[in-house]
Amino acid sequence: MTHGAGAPPTVTRRSEERSRPAGPRPARDTRALAVLAAVFTLAQLALVRPTLGLGWDEIVYTSQVTTHHPAAFFSAPRSRGVSLLVAPVASWSDSTVLLRIYLALLSGLGLYLALRVWRGLFPARVLVTAGAFFAFLWVTLFYGPQAMPNYWVAIGALIAVGAFLRHRRDPPSAGTLWAVVAGAALMAWMRPTDAVWVSVPLLVLAAAWRRPRLLAALVGGLLAGGVPWVIEAYASFGGLSERLAEASRIQGGLGLHMAVDDQLRSLGGRALCRPCTGEMPHPVVTLWWFVLPLLAVLGLVVAVRAHRALRTVVPLVCAVTAALPYLFTIEYAAPRFLQPAYALLALPVADALWYLVTAPRGRWRPVLRGVVAVGLAGHLAVQLTVLVHTVNRSDASRQDWASTAEGLHRLGVRPPCLVTGHESIPIGYYTGCSSGATAGNNENMTAADVRRTAGRVPVAEITRVGGRPNAYARTWPVHRVEDYEIRVAPGPHAPRE
Domain boundaries, the chain: 9-255, 397-488
Q: Which helix (H) or strand (E) holds 479?
A: strand 478-481
The predicted structure's pLDDT at residue 492: 66
Segment 417-421 mean pLDDT: 97
Beta-carbon count within 10 A of 239 CB:
12
Cis upstream peptide for 9 (omega within 30°): no
Confidence of residue 482 (pLDDT cuts 50, 70, 90): confident
Average pLDDT on 135-147 reads: 98
Select from 173, 121, 123 the least CA-distant residue to 12. Answer: 121
The model's pTM: 0.93
| Mean of the per-residue pLDDT values of the chain | 92
Given a contact cutoff of 8 angstroms between Cβ atoms, the answer to whether 53 and 399 are in contact is yes
The pLDDT of residue 274: 87
**Which tens digit of pLDDT belongs to each residue from 169-219?**
888 888 999 999 999 999 999 999 999 999 999 999 999 999 999 999 999
- Angle, helix 81-90 to helix 150-169, in steps of 10 degrees: 110
The stretch 136-149 carries a mean pLDDT of 98
Q: Would you say residue 442 has pLDDT above 60? A: yes
Do 40 and 107 form a contact (C-beta atoms < 8 A)?
yes
1 has pLDDT over 60: no
Residue 482 is given by DSSP the state T
HEC sequence for 114-159? HHHCCECCECHHHHHHHHHHHHCCHHHHHHCCCCCCHHHHHHHHHH
Cα-Cα-Cα-Cα torsion 285, 287, 293, 294, nearest 10 degrees, comes to: -160
Computed over its alpha carbons, how large is the radius of gyration of the chain? 25
Give the DSSP letter of residue 308.
-
